[in-house]
Structures are given as C-alpha cells and as structure tokens.
Amino acid sequence: MYHARFKGTHYEIGRKWGELLRKNNKYLLDNIPFEITKEMEAFSKECLPYYKDFFPGVIEEINGIAKGQLIDPNLLYAILFSMYGLVRATNCSSFIVKNERTYLLGRNSDFLTAIEKMYMNCLYTFKGPDSYSFSGNTTAFVEMEDGINQCGLAIALTSVFPDSIKPGMNVGMILRMILEKCQNVEQALELLKRIPRCTAGTLVMADLSGEACLVEFTNDRLVHCSLNEKGFLCATNSFHLPEMQAFKISLDDDWFAEKRYRTLEQYLAEHGQTMSIPEAKKLLGGDFGFLCQYDRKTGKDTVWSSIYDLKNNQFFRCEGNPSRKQFKEDSRFIF
C-alpha cells in the first residue's frame, strides 16, 4: 500500500503529487485497469457541473494533478466521475458495533489483485478552515472508500450495482466530501440529502458522540437507520433495509455479497454485545465465516482491512488479506 501525506490547498496538493509521480516516471494514465471510453468522457462532462457546485475543491485538486502530470484534466474526470457508475465494482464489507466494551467501525476492501500495489492510504491536511483533515484509504486516487476525520467521524462505503445512472456525484466522491465537510453523523446525513447522486451504494458512519447509522441509496432514493436493538449495523453490496428491497439486483458474480452479509449479520447478532478489537480482527479475517476467503487466482482478494476504534481513539489497518496478514496500529493521525 502506498502511503501519502498531502498538505496545502486542494490545487497545491494535486499539483505537487502529480509532479512527484511524473518526476519518478509514474503516469496515472498508464495504470488505469480499464479503457477510457467516449461514453465515460461524455458522462463526466454531464457530472462536472455538480462537482463544481457542491465540491469545487476536488475539481481544483484534479486540475492540479493534471497539471503536474502534463495531461488533460478531462481524462481524469472521465476516470473518476465514472467510478461506481459506468465502471462498476460490487465488493467490500463493512459493519459498526457498539457495546459496553467497544465502539468500532470495521471494513474489508475487496478488489483486483493486479493493481494492489497502487492502493493508497492518504493523510490530508488543508490550508484554511473550510476542510477537515482526514485519513482515508482508496483503490484509486482522490475519491476515498473508508476513513476518519479530525472530528472523529468514521465512514465506509460499499458499492451496489445500480438499476440506472444519471449525472451527479458517485459514492467515493461523496464519502470524501463527508470526511472534509462534516463533524458528525447528523451533518453527514444532512449533506447526503442535498447531494445529487449518480448511482447506488451504502455508507456506514459513526462519530465520537455515539451516533451511528447505515445509509442505503440509489440516485433518487435514500433510506437510513440507526443501530439496531443488538447494537450493530452491517453492509455488503446489496440492499437489506425493507424500504430498499425493490431495488435489489441479482448478479451472476457479486463477489459473494450475500454470503458475506450473512457472516456479518449472524456473528454480530450472536456476539456483538461481547466482542472487542481481537474479535473484530478475527471476523474481518474470516475466522467466523466467509468474508475474505477469495481465490487469488481469479484476480480477486481482500486488499486491505480497517478498524476504527472510536472508544479508544485508535485506528488499525491490515495491508493485505487479514486472513494472512497482521493488523497494525496507525498512530500518525490524531482524531
């Protein structure tokens, strides 16, 4: 996993990183695992006004990266804005559990092994008061897939295969925006209701006040719920809230989404009120049922795992499959 520290304005961050990569003969466009199509370029142009209106800072960052890489920013827009929409990935598992012993958010990121050396942990510190610092993890760049900000708001996504797409912001960019702009779950929900969404997904969120929720959404519908009576929430790559059942789509290959969901739900329902960090590591590592036991020969695997311990202000990450590699505490970021 590549580790990066970013400081400055959005544009400065982007340009410095783009230049650093170029000086080391690394070019982003050479490492994209899919073709940039005319459809993606056209779709990104339709999405661009929404990013400019709701999250202009991220446009400045992308423009800075393009300047540093000496490339057309429209190519980066096409890549980033099409993720989870035209470029569809249905993977990852996440949960929140709260009891007398612990309060944590856990997540496995499942993706392609071919580009796993490019996956990043990013520490962002911005100039000015408009954006909170955060630590985030991503299989790409700019967009984030799980993280925590300086206020102690932790969040993780899973993608859901959409029944339709329309211009708007994707779930990875929305998660990044929440980390930058929100102090707590309440503010995140208020922001989510205003953001135009291009596709479908789930988010689990927890903050230091003890508030936690699961959000399931399409591009025109959003439903959320708080911790259940047993003190947990979980999500994989499908909808499970009653109001969203009509929007579930069956796929030939969903990376065992329902099997992973059953593992989380069954274990947390039985043991959620007594578990703590050691059990969370074992759960994410597949000790209690299928969650990360992919056959790497297929090109799929769990490529990192995160645990945000909100009770003790700690963050643990396993860089690789947690059934084979160890979690290590990351103490570089204070929340």
Neighbours of 130 (CB within 10 A): 10
Q: Tell me, what's the pLDDT at 90?
A: 62
The span from the CA of 126 to the CA of 118, in Å, is: 23
Confidence at residue 70, expressed as pLDDT on a 0 to 100 scale: 98
pLDDT value at residue 87 = 79
Kindly state the tokens that stand for 138. Answer: 């991503």
**Which are the contacts of 38, defined by CB distance < 8 A and separation ≥ 6?**
none
Report d(CA 215, CA 28) in Å as an integer. 32
pLDDT of residue 14: 98
Q: What is the pLDDT of residue 259?
A: 95
The residue type found at 115 is: I
Query: Tokens 């570089």 belong to which residue?
Result: 332
Res 335: pLDDT: 87
Separation of alpha carbons 266 and 253, rounded Å: 23
pLDDT tens for the 335 residues of the chain, in order: 999 999 999 999 999 999 999 999 999 999 888 899 999 999 999 999 999 999 999 999 999 999 999 999 999 999 999 999 887 666 899 999 999 999 999 999 999 898 888 899 999 999 988 999 999 999 999 999 999 999 999 999 999 988 899 999 999 999 999 999 999 999 999 999 999 999 999 999 999 999 999 999 999 999 999 999 999 999 999 999 999 999 988 777 788 999 999 999 999 999 999 999 999 999 999 999 999 999 999 999 999 999 999 999 999 999 999 999 999 999 999 88
Is the distance from CB of 80 to CB of 284 less than 8 angstroms?
A: no
Please tell me the predicted confidence (pLDDT) of residue 158.
95
Contact 99, 280 (CB under 8 A): no
Task: Report how far residue 306's alpha carbon sits from residue 316's, in angstroms, rounded to the nearest whole number.
Answer: 6
Predicted local confidence at residue 295, as pLDDT:
92
pTM: 0.96
